[in-house]
Amino acid sequence: MNFLVNNDILESKNAMLFIWIEEQIQNYIKKRNLQKSDLINLGIGDTCHFLPPLIKQAIIDSAIEMSEHVIGYGDETGQTFLKEAIIDSNATYKEHFSTNEVIVTEGIANSLSHLLQLFEKKAKIGVLSPSYPVYSTLLSLRGMKKIPIKQNEDLSFTPPKEKLDAIILCSPNNPTALAFSKKELQMWVDYAKENGSIILFDAAYNSFIFDDSTPLSIYEIEGAKEVAIEMKSFSKSHGFSALRLGYCIFPKEICYKSISLLPFCKKIVAANSNGVSYPIQKAGLAALSKEGTEISMALCKEYLENAKTLKAHLLKAGKHVIGAEHAPYLFMKGNRSSKEMFNDLLQNKNIITIPGCGFEADGFLRLSGFISKKTLDLAVANLTLEENHDIC
Ligand code: PLP
C-alpha cells in the first residue's frame, strides 16, 4: 500500500499506548499460560452490567413501531421526544433552554468532533493536563494544535494569561475524578467572556456528583450561556457505551460577530451524521424516565463505591492515591515510570491499569471502579496480598 496517510494518527501517542498495553498483556498471559479473562481489569471506564429490561424493551418496541409505521430520516439534531426529556432531566436546562438548543449525538467523542469543526485549524484550543486523551487525538486529526493547561500543585487549574479560542474543560475530570467548584468555574466563564473564547464543557461524569455544592452543569454559573457548550453522554451514567448516545446543549447566545452559531453547528451535524438511530433515541427516552433514572443512580453509586473501596485499600497499603470523589477513578502516584508501574501490577498482581503517561502524567496509574463485584473482590484480595509488597 502506498497512499497519502494522515500521519497525525500514525503518530498519535494515545493509539500507540493502547497498542503497547495490549502487547504487554499478550506477552504476559502467554508466558504464564493464562487467558486475558484471568486478569483483573481495572483499566477501562466501561459498563459491566447487562442492558436493563427497561432499555431492552424500549429498543424492541421501537423496532415493532418501525415495522408498523414508516419512520425515516428524522430531525438530524434529535427527536423532539428525547430533546424534551433531556431538558426535563435537569433543572438548570429547564430554566435556561428550549429543545431547539439540544443536539442529540452518538456520544461525547461524536459531539466534540462536530464542535471542533466550528473552529479554524489554527485556532488555539486549551486542554487540561491531565485529561481524557481523546481530546488530543481529535485535535490532531483535524490538524489542530492543543495548548496544555497544566494542573497546579494543589490539583487546581488556573485560566492561562494568553487568549485561547476555546478551552475543553472536563468536570468531574478523567483521570483525577476531581470536579470544579462553582467559584473555579466562574473564573473560567469570566476568562472566556473577557477573551471572547468558547468553553467546550465535558460533563460525561456529572451523574457521579452526589453533593449539593458541586455544579452538575456549567450553566449553573452566571454568564455561562454566552460562552459555554455542554456535552453529555449516556455511556457512563446509563451504561450506553455500546448503544452510543449523548447530546450537547448549544445555547443560541453563542455567537460569532453577533451571529448565532447554532444553525451552523446543526449544519455540521447534518453533514457528518444525519442524526442518531431511532431505536437508540427511544432507549434514551426510557433511560431518562423515572425508572431509568433510578437504575442510573444505583449504577453510579455502585461504581463510585467500588472506587472508594479500592482507594481505602490502597491508602491502607501506604499508596499515594487520589480520586473516587466525583467519578469512579483512582489516580495513583508511584516512584517509577507509569509503564514500569503498569508492568509491576500486571506481573505481580495480575491487574490491568492504564499508565498515567496516556494522560500526560508519567509516574501515575489510573484504576477504574467500573467493575463487577467479583472483580472488586479479586482486586482487593490481590492488592492486599503480603508477598510482592512493592506494587509501585
Ligand atoms: N469524556 C470523557 C471525559 C471520558 O472519559 C469518556 C470516556 O471514557 C468520554 C468522554 C467518551 O464518551 P462517549 O462514550 O459519550 O463518547
- Nearest protein Cα to ligand 1, atom 12: 108
- What is the four-CA torsion angle of 206, 221, 84, 230, rounded to 10 degrees? -60
Closest residue by Cα to residue 169 from 187, 195, 142? 187
Ligand 1 mean position to 108 CA, how many Å?
Answer: 6
Closest residue by Cα to residue 167 from 218, 99, 215, 94? 218
Please list, in sequence order, all residues whose beta carbon lies within 8 angstroms of the beta carbon of residue 374, skipping any fewer than 6 positions away: none
Helices (H), strands (E): how many in the chain? 14, 15
Residues 369 and 328 sit within 8 Å (Cβ to Cβ):
yes
Q: For residues 263 and 250, give the distance between their C-alpha atoms in angstroms, rounded to a whole number.
A: 10
- Nearest protein Cα to ligand 1, atom 1: 204
Ligand 1 mean position to 109 CA, how many Å?
Answer: 6
Grid-cell match 501517542, residue found: 13
Helix (H, G, I), strand (E, B) or coil at 163: coil
Q: For residues 124 and 166, give the distance between their C-alpha atoms in angstroms, rounded to a whole number.
A: 7
Please list, in sequence order, all residues whose beta carbon lies within 8 angstroms of the beta carbon of residue 164, skipping any fewer than 6 positions away: 124, 125, 126, 147, 195, 197
Q: For residues 20 and 153, give the distance between their C-alpha atoms in angstroms, rounded to a whole number.
A: 30
Ligand 1 mean position to 384 CA, how many Å?
Answer: 31
What atom of ligand 1 comes closest to residue 45's alpha carbon? 8
- Mean pLDDT per 10-residue section of the chain, whose length is 392 residues: 77 80 96 95 94 98 98 96 98 97 98 97 97 93 93 95 97 98 98 97 98 97 98 98 98 95 96 95 98 98 98 94 97 96 96 96 97 96 68 54
Q: For residues 205 and 234, give the distance between their C-alpha atoms in angstroms, rounded to a whole number.
A: 10
Choose the residue to mutate in 44, 106, 174 for probing ligand 1, maximizing ligand atoms within 8 Å of C-beta.
174
What is the structure's pLDDT at 15?
73
Residue type, 58: A
- What is the four-CA torsion angle of 173, 179, 184, 189, rounded to 10 degrees? 60
Ligand 1 neighbours by CB, cut-off 6 Å: 45, 107-109, 132, 170, 174, 202, 204, 233, 235, 241, 246
**How would you list the strands of the sheet with 198-202, edge to edge?**
102-105, 246-249, 228-233, 198-202, 166-170, 125-129, 146-150
Indicate the burial class of 19 (C-beta count within 10 angstroms; 0-12, 13-18, 19 or more).
Answer: exposed
DSSP state letters, 196-253: T-EEEEE-TTGGG--STTS-SSGGGSTTGGGTEEEEEESHHHHS-TTT--EEEE--TT
What atom of ligand 1 comes closest to residue 170's alpha carbon? 3
Choose the residue to mutate in 127, 134, 201, 248 for probing ligand 1, maximizing ligand atoms within 8 Å of C-beta.
134
The angle formed by the CA atoms of residues 247, 199 and 169, to the nearest 5 degrees, is 80
Measured over the CA atoms of residue 75, residue 77, residue 82 and residue 84, the dihedral's sign is negative
End-to-end Cα separation, the chain, in angstroms: 43
Helix (H, G, I), strand (E, B) or coil at 373: helix
Residues 145 and 138 sit within 8 Å (Cβ to Cβ):
no
Residue type, 31: K
Ligand 1 mean position to 46 CA, how many Å?
Answer: 10
Kindly state the cell numbers that stand for 355: 499508565
- Nearest protein Cα to ligand 1, atom 8: 45
